[in-house]
A and B are shown apart, each in its own frame.
Chain A
Amino acid sequence: MKNNASQIKVLLFAELSEKYGWDEKYLSLDLIEDKKAKSILKYININVAHQSIIVAINKEISSLEATVKDNDEVAFMPIFTGG
């Protein structure tokens, strides 16, 4: 539940969401020392090869090395398989 300003929204999609049993969480960014997307992934215990993860921050394709700010929406996604 969202309850203060110093938070980020973390989203999981498709197989990741199914495997880890959730699709949306709010986290305090204070818990992530270097504020990087890869550290969020580690904090939420998602253990998958980094090359098989696509990251989006605020609905823009980004990278695991990107720095996240308060109120950002951070999405971790498996490789796309549409079309």
Chain B
Amino acid sequence: MDKIKYKFKIATDPFDPYREIEKWEINNQMAAMSIFIGRVREIDQFGSQLKQLEIHHYSGLTEKLIEKHLSEITKKIESFSALVIHRVGFIDPLEPIVLIAVRADKRGIANQYCSEILEVTKFKVPFWKKEWTDTGSSWVKNNTVLST
């Protein structure tokens, strides 16, 4: 069976990242795998207790931009396979927002592209976050920068 090079999915309902990886792994066995699971923070950008996170996106453009990026990676790297799932809608604190799983034949490639795809979902794709607390809502103005 041909290896599926990448799969991207917008999730409108809660998903179990471990179950998604398990299903995807059946046809995507390689030596190395890197996984990133992003969950909703419990605190909003101003330090208040978060009630829910709301994520909007531009249907059609979102899929196109992520798939274009994944397709470009597959042209450069033969032994590469990725699963990307991103939630939209209303999400509770600590629920998964994003799952990125990358399989490759070397750990360096798996780690590098897992990180790169995450930064693409943060800065290059039309998703927007709105934070809801007991006192109202506010749009997230700037994304967090990559730091250690």
Binding site for B on A (CB under 8 A): 11, 13-15, 18, 54, 56, 59, 61, 75, 77-83
Chain A residues whose CB sits within 8 angstroms of the CB of B127 once the complex forms: 80-83
B7 at the interface (CB under 8 A from A): no
Chain A residues whose CB sits within 8 angstroms of the CB of B57 once the complex forms: 82
Binding site for A on B (CB under 8 A): 38, 55-58, 60-61, 64-65, 86, 97-98, 118-119, 121-130, 139-143
Q: How distant is the Cα of A54 from the Cα of B58 in the complex, in angstroms?
A: 12
Chain A residues whose CB sits within 8 angstroms of the CB of B129 once the complex forms: 81-82
Q: How many A-B residue pairs have CB under 8 A?
A: 72
Nearest B-chain residue to A19, judged by Cβ: B139
Inter-chain contact B122/A80, CB cutoff 8 Å: yes
Chain B residues whose CB sits within 8 angstroms of the CB of A15 once the complex forms: 128, 139
Inter-chain contact B56/A14, CB cutoff 8 Å: yes
A80-B124, A82-B125 given as contacts; is B139 within 8 A of A59 (CB)? no
Interface centre among A14, A15, A75, A79 (most CB of B within 10 A): A14
Interface centre among B57, B118, B128, B142 (most CB of A within 10 A): B128
Chain A residues whose CB sits within 8 angstroms of the CB of B119 once the complex forms: 83
Inter-chain contact B65/A81, CB cutoff 8 Å: no
Chain A residues whose CB sits within 8 angstroms of the CB of B58 once the complex forms: 11, 13, 56, 59, 75, 77
A68 CB, nearest partner CB in chain B, Å = 16
A13-B128, A59-B61, A59-B64 given as contacts; is B121 within 8 A of A82 (CB)? yes
Chain A residues whose CB sits within 8 angstroms of the CB of B61 once the complex forms: 56, 59, 61, 75
Known pairs A18-B139, A83-B143 / 7 extra A-B pairs, C-beta < 8 Å: A59-B58, A59-B64, A77-B128, A78-B139, A79-B142, A81-B127, A81-B143
Q: How distant is the Cα of A37 from the Cα of B55 in the complex, in angstroms?
A: 26
Chain A residues whose CB sits within 8 angstroms of the CB of B141 once the complex forms: 79, 81
Nearest B-chain residue to A54, judged by Cβ: B126
